[in-house]
Amino acid sequence: MVKTTLVVRVTPRARRDEVAGWQDGMLRVRVSAPPLEGKANVAVAKLLAKSLGVPTHDIAIVRGEKSREKHVVVEGLSEQEIRARLPA
pTM for this predicted structure: 0.94
* CATH T-level assignment (fold) for domain 3-85: Conserved Hypothetical Protein Mth637; Chain: A; (3.30.1200)
Q: Is the pLDDT of residue 88 over 80?
A: no
Cβ proximity of 62 and 72 under 8 Å: yes
Higher pLDDT, 1 or 47: 47
Region of 38 (left: φ > 0; alpha: ψ -120 to 50; beta: rest) is left
Pairing outcome for strands 59-63 and 69-75: antiparallel
* 20-68 pLDDT per residue, tens: 999 999 999 999 999 999 999 999 999 999 999 999 999 999 999 999 9
